[in-house]
């Protein structure tokens, strides 16, 4: 348990192990000996939904761990050195800019009953967003924090590390990534967990109002989901949580509506 800390204004909650200086350790990304720094697994900005509101409530369904409020987020000082942490910051800040500051630029997609099915943005940066998702996945996997204890990638851990080192987002099917959003602002955090879509394993990460899903499986996603996955040169789809709660995501319906509207507009 030593080596992580909970940042916050919850003074006095700091783990007793943390007071002493950390010895030199091995960075889990570059594998160099270095002083490891206190790093976020999910970027800090996604936790700061509204400074005036109470902090997000962290909900967990790990047995024996009780829900608690953590004002800023989860830090981990066992993951990376400072240069490696900096290598993530472009991806983290791009995603935060896009989802938190530019979400009004997304087009709403509605079905024939005028029901909101999701949002679309035509010119998102595939590389930054994909590496953002892979970086969250990898940091969660290598974190020693109990909040991420259920993220276990097996051979995909090394694959993610190598892609991050190369700055390589891979193709759409590799660590295929989807996003969804709660239509009303919700400060809801839950520890990430694995789920299966027609048997294909994917991890779910809560990021404030947004949820990202990353496939950790060599088999492809079911076709309907694959259509909404982040892809080079394709619009970015953010599925409404109203749809996402349904087992099949009803993504096909969302995409179809988007395509029909697009063609109508010419
Ligand atoms: Zn490093």
Q: What pairing do the DSSP bridges indicate for beta strands 57-59 and 188-190?
A: parallel
Distance 24 CA to ligand 1 centre (A): 12
Q: Identify the bridge partners of residue 101 per DSSP, sorted by sequence position.
A: none
Average pLDDT across the chain, whole number: 80
Distance 87 CA to ligand 1 centre (A): 9
Which two tokens mark 179?
A: 């996003």
Q: How far apart are CA 248 and CA 162, in angstroms?
A: 32
Instruction: Label residue 184 by pLDDT band (50, 70, 90).
Output: low
Is residue 118 a contact partner of residue 239, using CB atoms and an 8 Å limit?
Answer: yes
Distance 166 CA to ligand 1 centre (A): 13
Distance 85 CA to ligand 1 centre (A): 7
Give rounded-to-5 percent helix, strand, coil for the chain.
30, 25, 45
Distance 22 CA to ligand 1 centre (A): 15
Distance 32 CA to ligand 1 centre (A): 6
Report which of 200, 216, 210 is spatially closest to residue 238, judged by C-alpha positions: 210
Distance 34 CA to ligand 1 centre (A): 7
pLDDT of 4 higher than 50: no
Comparing 108 with 46, the larger pLDDT belongs to 108
pLDDT of 165 higher than 50: yes
pLDDT of 179 higher than 60: yes
**pLDDT tens-digit series, residues 84-134:** 999 999 999 999 999 988 989 999 998 888 888 899 999 899 999 999 999
Distance 86 CA to ligand 1 centre (A): 9
Q: How far apart are CA 100 and CA 190, in angstroms?
A: 19
Distance 80 CA to ligand 1 centre (A): 5
pLDDT of 12 higher than 80: no
Per-domain boundaries in the chain? 4-265
CA angle 143, 147, 153 (to 5 degrees): 50
Which two tokens mark 49?
A: 């939904």
Report which of 120, 122, 194, 130 is spatially closest to residue 164, judged by C-alpha positions: 130
Distance 183 CA to ligand 1 centre (A): 38
The pLDDT value recorded for residue 29 is: 96
CA angle 213, 219, 222 (to 5 degrees): 60
**pLDDT tens-digit series, residues 49-79:** 444 455 455 555 555 554 544 445 677 888 9
pLDDT of 166 higher than 80: yes
Distance 259 CA to ligand 1 centre (A): 43
Distance 35 CA to ligand 1 centre (A): 9
The pLDDT value recorded for residue 187 is: 54
Is residue 187 a contact partner of residue 56, using CB atoms and an 8 Å limit?
Answer: yes
Residue with token string 């594998």: 31
List of residues 6+ apart from 260 with CB closer than 8 A? none
Distance 214 CA to ligand 1 centre (A): 23
Which region, left, alpha or beta, applies to residue 70 given φ > 0 means left and ψ of -120 to 50 means alpha? beta
Instruction: Label residue 248 by pLDDT band (50, 70, 90).
Output: low
pLDDT of 6 higher than 80: no
Most confident of 49-53, 95-99, 212-216, 244-248: 212-216
Distance 131 CA to ligand 1 centre (A): 16
Distance 161 CA to ligand 1 centre (A): 11
Cα separation values, 96 from 47, 133, 186, 196, Å: 10, 12, 16, 27
Distance 28 CA to ligand 1 centre (A): 7
């Amino acid at each position: 348990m030593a080596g992580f800390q909970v940042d916050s204004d919850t003074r006095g909650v700091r783990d007793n192990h943390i007071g002493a200086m950390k010895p030199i350790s091995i960075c889990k990304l570059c594998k160099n000996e270095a002083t490891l720094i206190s790093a976020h697994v999910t970027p800090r900005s996604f936790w700061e939904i509204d400074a005036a509101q109470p902090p997000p409530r962290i909900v967990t369904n790990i047995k024996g761990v009780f829900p608690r409020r953590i004002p800023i987020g989860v830090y981990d000082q066992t993951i990376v050195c400072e240069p490696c942490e900096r290598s993530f910051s472009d991806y983290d800040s791009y995603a935060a800019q896009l989802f938190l500051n530019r979400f009004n630029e997304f087009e709403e997609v509605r079905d024939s009953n005028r029901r909101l099915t999701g949002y679309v943005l035509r010119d998102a940066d595939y590389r930054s967003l994909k590496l953002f998702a892979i970086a969250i996945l990898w940091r969660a996997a290598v974190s020693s924090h109990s909040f991420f204890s259920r993220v276990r990638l097996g051979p995909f851990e090394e694959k993610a590390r190598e892609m991050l080192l190369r700055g390589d987002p891979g193709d759409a099917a590799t660590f295929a990534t989807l996003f969804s959003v709660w239509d009303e602002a919700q400060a809801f955090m839950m520890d990430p967990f694995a789920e299966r879509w027609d048997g294909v394993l994917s991890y779910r990460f809560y990021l404030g109002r947004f949820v990202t899903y990353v496939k950790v499986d060599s088999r492809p996603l079911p076709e309907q989901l694959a259509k909404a996955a982040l892809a080079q040169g394709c619009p970015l789809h953010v599925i409404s949580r109203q749809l996402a709660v349904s087992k099949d995501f009803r993504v096909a319906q969302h995409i179809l509506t988007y395509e029909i509207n697009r063609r109508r507009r010419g």
